[in-house]
Structure 1
Amino acid sequence: MKTTRLAVMAALGMLSVPTMALDCTQLNDWQPNQVYTGGMEVQHLTAKYTAKWWTQNQDPALYSEPENVWRKDGICDPIGTPLPIVKLDAPLDQSRHVIASPVTIKATASHPMNVPIKYVDFRVDGAVIATDDVAPFEVSWTASGLGEHTVSAEVVDEVGGRASSGQRTITVVADDVIVPPSGFKIVGYFPSWQGQVADIQFDKLTHINYSFLLPNADGSLQPLENLAKMQQLVSAAHASGVKVGIAVGGWNGGDDSAFETFASTAQGRATFIRNLMAFVELHQLDGVDMDWEYPDPGSSATNFALLMKELNIELKAKGKFLTAAVVALGYTGGGVLESVFQDVDFLNLMAYDANNADHASFQYALDSIAYWQGRGLSKEKTVLGVPFYSRPTWQAYRTLIAQDPANACRDSDGTSYYNGIPTIRAKTQLALDQAGGIMNWELSHDSQGAASLLTAKWEVAQGLVPSYQCDGTGGPDKPTQCADIQVDPNQYVAHPDWPNGDHAASAQRVRYQQSVYQANWWTRSVPGSDGSWQFVCQF
């Protein structure tokens, strides 16, 4: 009788043998980036799951409780072989490394059924360059061979299961001249009413949108506030190779009546476009960011689509860009028809202001990307927005860290909720992985010192070692003794009963694989496996 790997696991007590099983031979395996809608069935690990509603990037094994998106239907027959999981944590995709310098290659490995991990192989260009059998799994490779290389990791568990991390591409260069990953946008809004042009870090931006130019109901334009400031901005930005667009609209107290009126007729749209093009060319601007907040589904959406199509034709004839700021998700998202995706260079997703407290969580960023890409927006045209301010106090980030420097390393000071350096870094990595850029509202809210959020974004985009270290407690200095760090007594296990019933709470610390991790926000994921966790220290 043939002894299978699954039988070995059963003998070890690692799983229970079911008395009844399901036929899963016609099911596709669950894919993290695929969109699933209610009623769609998948196989994941050893089980069959059915989606209850729209979902993407939500692991069925972790989101199948009664109140969650997946329903677990039962164990598959023939039972699929459970495999280990490995995620490449470093280096960053598209990062650059000077020849002969050390390159840290790091991976997180686990198993959905707690089978022990035997070792992790690290590969460069497909060849194994080192093996590590002790967590945390990490090796150092000396950069060699100018040009692009692929980096990957493969995990092997104690019963022979293998899994690969997939590849990341890095580039070995002759010197340390750094350029952004090809096509990756770093966009900042700059308001007319506050901030100094001299304070802008132009070397860390690709686009700046001056805010805001307001239209009238007949398609004419109101005088721009602080025109001299915009002219100064254009001159300084162009000297640094940064594009400048004019942002049209804005919140404006919720009054979008001018847009609704002129966009409803061909004559009104033509008048507006003629005036706007004259403004763009007169002031040597590089493009337009349409910030109509918000066209509603229905006739308003149709008029917005017509406006964007007609404006795009005129801008492209002059070599100018067209973008739009859009709501993160929800009803008014339907005011932007899918046809608009073809007419814009990219969309700026305003993934903030979700509520009046924790208004810009990492999950909200994930949901926003999933919403727009689920409707057909390409990765390259997706630009994730982050806030440089707090709610409900509406304080600038620079004000928060002036009150307490420790605020740079957390997302709340007890009364204000915002995005500190760890979350900004995590969202930038998310944008590198799933989008085509990252933007912020707005640049004058940033700190000019070492704790700059724009610097944090730029360093992640460039694959640089962070210049400002956060220890996970709100302080900038890393503790010297990991044993001194207090942790939750419940260590992480791949089971829904840790340590708060089914999750870790924001700021909660746990031990996992000889390291301490702190949750950046509410999470069910494996410590260190994604941006919801921050590494604190290693024993």
Structure 2
Amino acid sequence: MKTLNLAVMAAFGLISVPTMALDCSQLSNWQSAKVYTGGMEVQHLAAKYTAKWWTQNQDPAIYSQPENVWRKEGICDPVGTPLPIVKLDTPVDQSRHIIASPILIKATASHPMNVPIKHVDFKVDDVVIATDNTAPYEVTWTATGLGEHVIQAEVVDDENGRASSGKRIITVVADDVIVPPSGFKIVGYFPSWQGQVADIQFDKLTHINYSFLLPNADGSLQPLENLAKMKQLVSAAQSSGVKVGIAVGGWNGGDDSAFETFASSAQGRATFIRNLMAFVELHQLDGVDMDWEYPDPGSSANNYALLMKELSVELKAKGKFLTAAVVALGYTGGGVLESVFQDVDFLNLMAYDANNADHASFQYALDSIAYWQGRGLSKEKTVLGVPFYSRPTWQAYRTLVAQDAANACRDTDGTSYYNGIPTIRAKTQLALDSAGGIMNWELSHDTSGPESLLTAKWEVSQGIAPTYQCDGSGGPDKPTQCVDIQVDPNQYVVHPDFPNGDHAAAGQRIRHQSSVYEANWWTRSVPGSDGSWQFICQY
């Protein structure tokens, strides 16, 4: 452990922190048409910027205020003598740490011209807490002060060249049980054509959307399939404190022509809203989930925005909610204008069906959240969607588990691709950290046993220890604790860099961020970042 030899001087203002130029020699210039995701760095107008989340065509010089997508790191060093290079290895950006716990702050420093490194300064909230003059450059800081802190490293070479690393934001919390934010939503869709109301775990839900009510081109409504079932659902859910909405639309074979027609005129919208409000009040529903799949950018998007604004006024006047199911990301997302964000209580992001293999990866969830929040959707109004079914076999999760109990703890059986318990837990934690809730399609696909995906979501949201173990237990020769899972750390270098050509081969396991991952095939990617890794367990 390195000593905090400058901490006292820094705290009392006996040393100053120099303003230094950053080494931007390895950075590409920002391009308006290029997509950038969280952590990507660019050079723009002689300054260095880091993207916080998904962004495209948002000028870093304009969108770099604290609440916007770009973070300005500083001014670039003019072309001349090369500067040293320093990069933070730990801690992980946006990580949480218990107060009074030790936090390893580690950096890698080098120089493109092999000028010797004099020392590395470590800073917390712009105050130097320690200086290290020997590699490996690191210090252990005791987590102090609840809330967010900015971690940074600065390097000085023997010719007094200086450079700064990017910033890492960490949060110090009171204990290891993260209390879910007030208003965190757990939303489930429930179809008219399958599933029993008696099987729903109402105590683990905040909202249920009954699916689907279909409109006609003139704004009238088609008869609802299985109306008696919806009435039973409303009675059971509301007695348990769960809100019930009617989901309007759905995939419907890709036919959204009725929406396109009635939404294109003021009279058509008025007729639809009048009929829908009468339906909501007649059946004592709590709100509406608009599931128009999908308005296209252009005139369709403008009509959708008008429809949502006018419907929102009517629903809010009656104390009802308005939500919408939206595409995960991409071109069709442009059919939902930013003005709609103000009219809805939240958006349900359908972060699944990306493809047939690994159609709902953890990375796809990250990208979906980044896309919508990058356009201005608030964290509180972001609800992450997860699937309770597989592709391309289109099997319910409960069917997969019935075929093989081990399927509960993985994301594929070799033919089907889905989200098992570990991935659902990880996505729920992501939603706790980065969104306002989590949603699923659909509830009848779940099991009612201990391997229930809804139970897994609810336990994470409440900070409850998992009741179903996915740690390899079940056989006499298998470990019962995640910390006992066998890995061979000598085969790997610390992730995520994989220097010197190191990689993982299929079936090999590694520890990363307090979890064990197994490689599905040859990979050099960060464990858990894509489909090349399977989550095994967390300890």
Q: Name the TM-score, length of structure 1 as normaliser.
A: 0.71
Number of the residue aligned with 1:492: 493
Report matched runs for 1:163-182 at 5 Å.
Answer: 166-170=170-174, 180-182=180-182
Q: Aligned pair 1:235/2:235, yes or no?
A: yes
- Distance in 1 between residues matched to 2:379 and 2:342, nearest whole Å: 13
| 8 Å CA contact 1:488, 1:508 repeated in 2 | no
Flag structure 1 segments of 5+ consecutive residues without an equivalent.
Answer: 6-20, 46-50, 57-72, 94-102, 127-148
Aligned to 2:401: 401
What is the CA-CA distance between 1:181 and the residue it aligns to?
2.5
CA distance in 1, matches of 2:225, 2:85: 64
- 1:172-211 map, 5 Å: 180-211=180-211
- Correspondences of 1:310-329 after superposition (within 5 Å): 310-329=310-329
Counterpart Cα distance in 2 of 1:402 and 1:345? 37
Q: Give the direction of change, closer, same or farther, for the CA distance of 1:217–1:436 in structure 2 (3 Å limit).
A: same
Distance in 1 between the 2:516 and 2:386 partners? Answer: 27
How far apart, CA to CA, are the structure 1 residues paired with 2:218 and 2:492? 64
Q: 3-state SS of the aligned residue for 2:234? A: helix
Structure 1, residues 319-343: CA drift from partner, whole Å, max 9, x if none? 1110100011112111111111111
Q: CA deviation at 1:516?
A: 5.3
Instruction: Report the equivalent of 1:264.
Output: 264
> Which residue of 2 is the match for residue 295 of structure 1?
295
Q: For residues 200-244 of structure 1, what are the alpha-carbon distances to aligned partners after superposition, in whole Å with 9 as ceiling and x for unaligned?
A: 111111111010001111111111111111111111111111111
Distance 2:304 2:482 in 1: 58
Unpaired runs of at least 5, structure 2: 6-22, 31-35, 60-77, 111-134, 157-163
After superposition, where does 1:18-167 map in structure 2 within 5 Å? 43=48, 78-79=83-84, 81-87=86-92, 111-112=107-108, 116=136, 120-123=140-143, 126=145, 166-167=170-171
- Match in the other structure for 2:75: none
Aligned-partner Cα distance in 1 for 2:279–2:448: 32
| 1:483 Cα offset (Å) | 7.3
C-alpha change, 1:473 and 1:497, in structure 2 (3 Å) is farther
Q: 1:22, 1:77 within 8 Å by CA — same for their partners in 2?
A: no
TM, length-normalised to structure 2: 0.71
Confirm whether residue 281 of structure 1 aligns to residue 260 of structure 2.
Answer: no
- Contact persistence 1:295–1:335 (CA under 8 A): yes
Structure 2 letter corresponding to 1:492: V
5 Å-filtered alignment, 1:377-388, equals 377-388=377-388
Asked if 1:304 is matched to 2:300, the reply is: no
Against the structure 1 CA distance between its residues 90 and 458, is the aligned structure 2 distance closer, same or farther, given a 3 Å change threshold? farther
Per the TM alignment, residue 510 of structure 1 is displaced from its structure 2 partner at its CA by: 2.3
Whole-angstrom distance in 2 between the partners of 1:513 and 1:306: 46
SS in 1 for 2:491: coil
Q: 1:120 to 1:165 in 2, by over 3 A?
A: farther
The amino acid of 1:219's aligned partner reads: G
Report the AA paired with residue 486 of structure 2. Answer: I
After TM superposition, give the deviation of residue 84 of structure 1 in Å.
4.6
Shift of 1:479: 3.9
SS in structure 2 of the partner of residue 166 of structure 1: strand
Contact kept in structure 1, 2:84 and 2:109, CA below 8 Å: no
Q: Distance in 2 between matches of 1:332 and 1:77?
A: 45
Contact 1:518/1:534 (CA < 8 Å) preserved in 2?
yes
Over the aligned positions, Cα root-mean-square deviation in angstroms equals 4.6
Q: What code does the residue aligned with 1:190 have?
A: F
Secondary structure of the 1:167 match is: strand
Question: What is the CA–CA distance in structure 2 between the aligned matches of 1:396 and 1:514, rounded to whole Å?
Answer: 30
Shift of 1:492: 2.8
Partner amino acid, structure 2, of 1:123 = A
Counterparts of 1:442-457 in structure 2, within 5 Å, are: 442-457=442-457
SS at match of 1:393: coil
* Displacement after TM superposition at 1:294 (Å): 0.7
Q: How many residues are treated as equivalent by the alignment?
A: 457
Cα 1:498–1:448 change in 2 (3 A) is farther
State the AA in 2 paired with 1:291: D
Alignment partners' CA distance in 1, 2:404 and 2:295: 40
> Which residue of 1 is the match for residue 255 of structure 2?
255
| Contact 1:36 1:55 (C-alpha < 8 Å) held by counterparts | no
Letter of the aligned partner of 1:455 in structure 2? T
8 Å CA contact 2:473–2:480 kept in 1: the answer is no
Q: Which amino acid aligns with 1:288?
A: V
Maintained 8 Å contact 1:269/1:307: yes
For residues 250-304 of structure 1, give each alpha carbon's deviation from its aligned partner in whole angstroms, at most 9, with x where no partner exists: 0011111111111111111101000000110111111100000111111111111
Partner of residue 335, structure 1 = 335
For the Cα contact (< 8 Å) 1:85–1:112, is it kept in 2? no
**Residues 82 and 76 of structure 1: CA distance in aligned 2, closer, same or farther (over 3 Å):** farther
